[in-house]
């Protein structure tokens, strides 16, 4: 079984900004509190991801590569709206890769940094541009940004 251990934080400044990000379109076929089925399309590939219930920063995750055309068709015809649009950047800070998502469309204005860990109790240094932790706040789950976009808060 695949396990994801991920912590999420709000971003407080543009000090992280470097290089170029990749455009991501992401939608959900299934949304409920116990599981989600996500479709993601990027310029470098497309994926179908199944995630289980979050238990703190941990949850089961299974991800499979799918044809980009299939992902785009699913996003346009089957996934709930609005489809999540964002630009994802990767920044290495003190040995860990942080993914910074700058949301577009209905979620414009939201910028979140995520870091994947090997263990839930793993210690790590937070970059200076990372603020409040929102790992346990369901408002910031991508799947919840479909039904209640950031601009509607």
Per-residue pLDDT, averaged over 2-31, amounts to 94
Quickly list DSSP for 42-74: ETTEEEEEEEE--BTTEEEEEEEEE-HHHHHHH
By residue range, what is the domain housing residue 108? Answer: 3-152
Global pTM value: 0.91
pLDDT in tens, 108-134: 999 999 999 999 999 999 999 999 999
Q: Give me the helices (H) in 12-131, please.
A: 68-77
* Separation CA 108–CA 124 (nearest Å): 29
pLDDT of residue 1: 55
Ranges of beta strands (E only) in 55-149 are: 58-66, 84-93, 96-103, 111-116, 130-133
pLDDT of residue 116: 95
**Burial category of 119 from C-beta neighbours within 10 Å (exposed 0-12, middle 13-18, buried 19 and up):** exposed
SS3 111: strand
Answer yes or no: 64 catalytic: no
Domain count, the chain: 1
CATH code, 21: 2.40.320.10
């Amino acid at each position: 079984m695949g396990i994801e251990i991920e912590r999420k934080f709000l971003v407080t400044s543009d000090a992280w900004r470097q290089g170029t990000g990749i455009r991501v379109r992401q939608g959900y076929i299934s949304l409920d509190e116990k599981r989600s089925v996500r479709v993601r399309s990027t310029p470098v590939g497309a994926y179908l991801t199944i995630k289980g219930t979050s238990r703190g920063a941990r949850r089961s995750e299974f991800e499979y590569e799918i044809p980009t055309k299939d992902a785009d068709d699913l996003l346009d015809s089957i996934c709930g709206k609005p489809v999540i649009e964002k630009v994802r950047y990767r920044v290495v800070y003190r040995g860990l890769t942080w993914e910074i998502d700058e949301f577009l469309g209905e979620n414009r204005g939201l910028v979140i940094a995520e870091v994947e860990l090997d263990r839930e109790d793993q210690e790590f240094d937070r970059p200076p541009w990372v603020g409040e932790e929102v790992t346990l706040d369901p408002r910031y789950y991508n799947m919840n940004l479909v039904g209640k976009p950031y601009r509607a808060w």
